[in-house]
Structure 1
């Protein structure tokens, strides 16, 4: 059992589901986010309100940690100045503090948007060059490259989880390949924490989907064995899906709608606006 794990982004959709499983893997879990407080704090869990973009706060928070599970960031496209603070500077602050305090490993929530402009006809692997679709995706490229650099120079291990779709549901045809269930997401993080040696590893955050467009074979040593499969939703989803337009990057690129969202504009709000015909 680890002595101390730090979890950033603990109030988020994914971070909130990781708190209990991570608390069971360590003597002390320190959870952090910008929320005033968290509900259901475990007996061995401490919550500290902190900003990942604040170097001093991260330096104090990470002291004594063996591992950091870094899920704290803006999880959408946004103006570059906002992405710079939370995603670029946040990642730097975490890795720098980890180096200063002798942290063994960082498990990082990367994203498919680091590779979003690749066409879906290309089955992407963990060692292909980045091809981001947004400032958000660019920030994930930066953090991945920094993780590799800190591994090469200082021996800080890193597992970068390129999460494909936000877990929870299969709402469209894209999700038939990109779906990641909450249970599989938790398993993915657990295996990233308890595998004895990981070096620098990139793995895609997808479930065991028949239509998965990514190749996770190089990371099999982590022991991640996803159990859920979006194929059970395929018949219903495809029955209501219009014919694909091969010239529409939103349909043809791994990044989905983010491949067409203007830089700096919220992808969530842009997609909602387009769906409403505005």
Structure 2
């Protein structure tokens, strides 16, 4: 399958590329050229990448296009000849660019899908349901979204609504993956305040592979919570298991399981 990926320079893209490049042809698009890596992936003063970011085996050569997702012509041209779209673009802190990338950029990506007859679009976003459901359990992706007033959450929420509208009006097949916290599955350190909405980088990559390769969805816009199987039971990935065939492998036992200490009598 030929896949165009927007926002291909960030850490989530690293995980997605590692899983997709084995069996698919990728066209990677980002506003930064490959010679200018994402700030999160530059590493420390010694040049070592942060051990908390995803690692990939030996990099393969992929077609690259420098694309500004706020430019509709560049976005549309990059999607020509592709079978599927993966949109990973995001801006968080800037109040102008957050709307231009997270909302208007999503509009341009969906217009490109329609223009080229691409039905499978994998959209990504944050858990706009999480902030107001902390005391609930068994929360699904269908819970009413409550992004609040956080710039990042509200702009991504508006972008999701644009994607949903395009999917329903034009009969597209959109898989929307919702994430919260990422960590390496084999990280030895314990991190305080481990999230009940947590997934490993390897499982993240497998989620993208499943989203691209899954059969047609029941609805034009189908959202999924992507989290590991954690004992909290607040957020579940049952729908992703059922419709995408995605089963998380990393359970982060180090966060919540401790060996029993036997004491003598």
Pairwise TM-score range, normalised by the shorter structure: 0.7 to 0.9
Aligned to 1:173: 193
TM-fit CA distance, 1:41: 5.5
The answer to whether the 8 Å contact 2:228/2:237 transfers is no
Measure how far apart 1:186 and its partner are. 0.9
Residue 263 of structure 1 corresponds to none
Residue 213 in 1 paired to residue 234 in 2?
yes
- Residues 167, 185 of structure 1: 8 Å contact kept: no
More helix as a share of residues: 1
Equivalent of 2:136 in 119, 122, 144: 122
Q: Contact between 1:126 and 1:216, CA under 8 Å: does it hold in 2?
A: no
Q: Report what 1:139 is aligned to.
A: 155
Q: TM-score, normalised by structure 1?
A: 0.76
Instruction: Name 2:72's counterpart in structure 1.
Output: 55
2:100 is the counterpart of 1:100: no
Task: State the alpha-carbon separation in 1 of the partners of residues 164 and 31 from structure 2.
Answer: 28
Alignment deviations for residues 60-86 of structure 1 (CA, whole Å, 9 cap, x no partner): 101111111111211x3x242121111
Cα-Cα RMSD: 2.0
Contact 1:210 1:230 in 2 (8 A): no
SS at match of 2:28: strand
1:13 alignment partner in structure 2: 11
* Count of residue correspondences: 228
Q: C-alpha displacement at 1:221, in angstroms?
A: 1.7
Equivalent-residue separation in structure 2 for 1:41 and 1:218 (angstroms): 32
1:24 maps to which of 22, 25, 38: 22
Give the alignment of 1:1-278 within 5 angstroms: 2=1, 4-26=2-24, 28-37=25-34, 42-43=60-61, 45-74=62-91, 76=92, 78-112=93-127, 114-123=128-137, 124-133=139-148, 134-168=150-184, 171-175=191-195, 177-198=196-217, 199=219, 200-219=221-240, 220-234=242-256
Structure 2, unmatched stretches of 5+, are 38-57, 259-265
